[in-house]
Amino acid sequence: MSEERCTTFCPRIIGESKNLEMVLDRANRVAPTDCTVLITGETGTGKELMARFIHGHSRRKRKPFVAVNCAAMSKDLLESELFGHVQGAFTTALRNREGRFEAADGGTIFLDEIGEMPLDLQAKLLRVLQFKEFSAVGESKVRRVDVRVVAATNTDLVQMVRDGTFRQDLFYRLNVVRLQLPALRERKDDIELLVHHFMKKAGEQYGRQVEELCPCAMRRLTAHSWPGNIRELENAIEHAVVMGMGERIEEADLPTLDSLSEDELVDFMRPLSDDGIDLQTVLRQIEAQYIQQALDQTSGNKNQAANLLGLNRTTLVEKLKRGLLQPVSTAV
């Protein structure tokens, strides 16, 4: 379970891309209200950060922010975690216990992975949203709280409603304002800003002064499709800061980045605009991508890399000599 209280801390959300700015604009407008917010987005896109941002920009910011991961426990445990229980409610309930809703009174509760909440608990949550009241496990007395709900999911709740695994009425209640966080591959303009932010963060954490990143390393970061999104990028930069020797991150300091799948390659292509493209340049970029991956996967072994690409070694060496890209290691 992830549970944390935050009062005055408000995180910074880094990024200036159009995709993110649109979401940030909506977030800034909804934050000061008491409106329920549903945050959606792939793993690692910053859903929890956004929930904290909303709390930090609300009138509740000096009250608790309580995060509960609905996927982290069984139905019974989750019910007692959220709503509390009274002594004797079940065999291990030796004393009364306050639930997270009461702990968050006056503040915000962040229900992470809301799609994992069992159906009968969904009914209880709906009641809190509608009437701000609930009962602890093992008790009939009604308790009242003043809590704003921010929920997040990376599953398709609309599909779950269709499948009958998520209540439609709860979905509408949560989905009053939805903030859909873009995947990192949809906001590649932000990579450079994020890299510098994470270099500074990791630098402070490890007592290193890392200020620069070589252009080859930046090219590799920009070309990657980032299935793990910002978390994956943050980890990659942390790795590079730890492994690097100097003030500049070199390409070799980066971890191996997982390969592009065929589907992701489609993403790599841009729609053909009226201005057209320079096909030779685009093809060279795709070629460079695959050669880089083959060299990464074979620790720079040109024979093996050429095999992976269906090229003979001489052709690969020629391409490398033409300055297509630098091999990652000195192995032959």
Ligand X SMILES: Nc1ncnc2c1ncn2[C@@H]1O[C@H](COP(=O)(O)OP(=O)(O)OP(=O)(O)O)[C@@H](O)[C@H]1O
User: Of 242, 264, 260, 248, whose CA–CA distance to 216 is shortest?
Assistant: 248
For residue 186, the partner it binds in ligand X, Mg ion, none, with Cβ less than 5 to 8 A by kind, is none
Please report how close the Cβ of residue 179 comes to Mg ion at its closest, in angstroms.
14
What is the C-alpha to C-alpha distance for residues 277 and 11, in angstroms, rounded to an integer?
39
- Between residue 170 and residue 199, which ones bind ligand X under the rule CB under 6 A? 197
- Cβ nearer to ligand X, comparing 201 with 313: 201
DSSP letter for each residue of 70-102 = TTSS-HHHHHHHHH-B-TTSSTT--S-B--HHH
> Nearest to ligand X by Cβ — which residue?
46
Should residue 231 be labelled a site residue for ligand X when binding is judged by CB under 6 A?
yes
Binding mask 128-147 for ligand X (x = CB under 6 A): --------------------
Should residue 108 be labelled a site residue for ligand X when binding is judged by CB under 6 A?
no
Residue 212: CA atoms inside 13 Å, Cβ hemisphere, count? 8
CB 64 within 8 A of CB 73: no
Count residues binding ligand X (CB under 6 A): 16
User: Of 80, 103, 75, whose CA–CA distance to 90 is shortest?
Assistant: 80
- Cβ nearer to Mg ion, comparing 136 with 150: 150
| Region of 98-106, 229-237, 287-295, 301-309 interacting with ligand X (CB under 6 A) | 229-237
Please report how close the Cβ of residue 55 comes to Mg ion at its closest, in angstroms.
14
| Residue position matching structure tokens 């990024």 | 15
In SS3 terms, 269-295 reads as: CCCCCCCCCCHHHHHHHHHHHHHHHHH
What is the C-alpha to C-alpha distance for residues 70 and 110, in angstroms, rounded to an integer?
10
Residues 6+ apart with CB under 8 A from 49: 11, 13
Please report how close the Cβ of residue 111 comes to Mg ion at its closest, in angstroms.
11
How far out from the chain centre does Cα 274 lie? 34
Binding mask 239-268 for ligand X (x = CB under 6 A): ------------------------------
- Between residue 27 and residue 46, which ones bind ligand X under the rule CB under 6 A? 41, 43-46
Should residue 48 be labelled a site residue for Mg ion when binding is judged by CB under 5 A?
yes
| Region of 9-17, 47-55, 141-149, 201-209 interacting with Mg ion (CB under 5 A) | 47-55
**Quick check: helix, strand or coil at residue 114?**
helix
**Quick check: helix, strand or coil at residue 158?**
helix
For residue 230, the partner it binds in ligand X, Mg ion, none, with Cβ less than 5 to 8 A by kind, is ligand X
Which helix (H) or strand (E) segment holds residue 316: the answer is helix 313-321
For residue 108, the partner it binds in ligand X, Mg ion, none, with Cβ less than 5 to 8 A by kind, is none
Please report how close the Cβ of residue 34 comes to ligand X at its closest, in angstroms.
22
Rule CB under 6 A: choose which of 27, 48, 151, 226 binds ligand X.
48
Should residue 230 be labelled a site residue for ligand X when binding is judged by CB under 6 A?
yes
| Region of 158-166, 226-234, 282-290, 316-324 interacting with ligand X (CB under 6 A) | 226-234
Rule CB under 6 A: choose which of 7, 154, 259, 326 binds ligand X.
154
Tokens read off for 10: 């408000």
User: Of 331, 296, 301, whose CA–CA distance to 313 is shortest?
Assistant: 301
| Region of 42-50, 98-106, 212-220, 303-311 interacting with Mg ion (CB under 5 A) | 42-50
What is the DSSP-derived secondary structure letter of residue 186?
G
Q: How far is CA 163 from CA 49, 83, 160, 314, in A?
A: 30, 27, 5, 55
- Cβ nearer to ligand X, comparing 46 with 64: 46
Please give the residue ranges that form the binding site for Mg ion (CB under 5 A): 48
Please give the residue ranges that form the binding site for ligand X (CB under 6 A): 13-15, 41, 43-49, 154, 197, 230-231, 234
